[in-house]
Structure 1
């Protein structure tokens, strides 16, 4: 029985992004077109197309986004977005967003 709890407790932790993987000393701003959007746990995401590249942008958990005024419906494929955040240390096309602006409204994600 203890083994079941141990294994069950490890799975969610392993699936969660570690924030230390992002370089908080290199804030960056990207503006582009949403090519894909996900509103799932543990974190939502968008794939944001900017000139010459498509970025995976890791967002906040859906419950936080919803409570701060960013429902899933605002993350529309084809819509424009500006994100401010930090690049991943080893995945050159991934960033963690601190805030996102869509349709003139900025939402703090952290």
Structure 2
């Protein structure tokens, strides 16, 4: 009976393998190289897996701002309590290669004049 359970588990994991690449961390390949600055009003904030996100309203359009996974995001000092809906945020990062997609990956988020370097090695030196 135990061998049958192990075999069934192995078969189930094998069937799931083609899906795993889609769940993998997608890095920066989907973004433009140049940095882009976006100023907007917070609609929602989420700090959790697979990575933190902000939804910002910019001139009536909602942008998805992706941050780092929860560990590095919180290590930067940015938490779900850092901002609330209605707060103004400036996000610095790389926008999507798809010009129709309102999405970017932020390296720095500034709230009330305080900067949170989500990816400090990618923030340009002043």
TM-score of the superposition, structure 1-length normalised? 0.83
Separation in structure 1 between the aligned mates of residue 17 and residue 83 of structure 2, nearest angstrom? 32
Q: Which of the pair has the greater relative contact order for Cα pairs under 8 Å at 6+ separation?
A: 1
Query: Could you say which residue in structure 2 is the equivalent of 1:64?
Result: 72
Larger radius of gyration: 2
Q: CA deviation at 1:10?
A: 5.1
Query: Could you say which residue in structure 2 is the equivalent of 1:84?
Result: 92
Which stretch of structure 1 is more off in the superposition, 28-37 or 50-59?
50-59
Matches for 1:1-110 after TM superposition, within 5 Å: 1=10, 4=13, 7=16, 11=20, 13-15=21-23, 16-25=25-34, 27-90=35-98, 91-110=100-119
CA RMSD of aligned residues (A): 2.2
Q: What is the DSSP-based 3-state SS (H/G/I as helix, E as strand, rest coil) of the residue aligned with 1:20?
A: coil
Q: CA deviation at 1:29?
A: 0.7
Separation in structure 1 between the aligned mates of residue 39 and residue 90 of structure 2, nearest angstrom? 4
Query: Could you say which residue in structure 1 is the equivalent of 2:124?
Result: none
Q: CA deviation at 1:33?
A: 0.5
* Larger strand share, 1 or 2: 1
| Structure 1 segments unaligned to the other structure (5+ residues) | none
Separation in structure 2 between the aligned mates of residue 9 and residue 103 of structure 1, nearest angstrom? 44
| Structure 2 segments unaligned to the other structure (5+ residues) | 1-9, 120-126
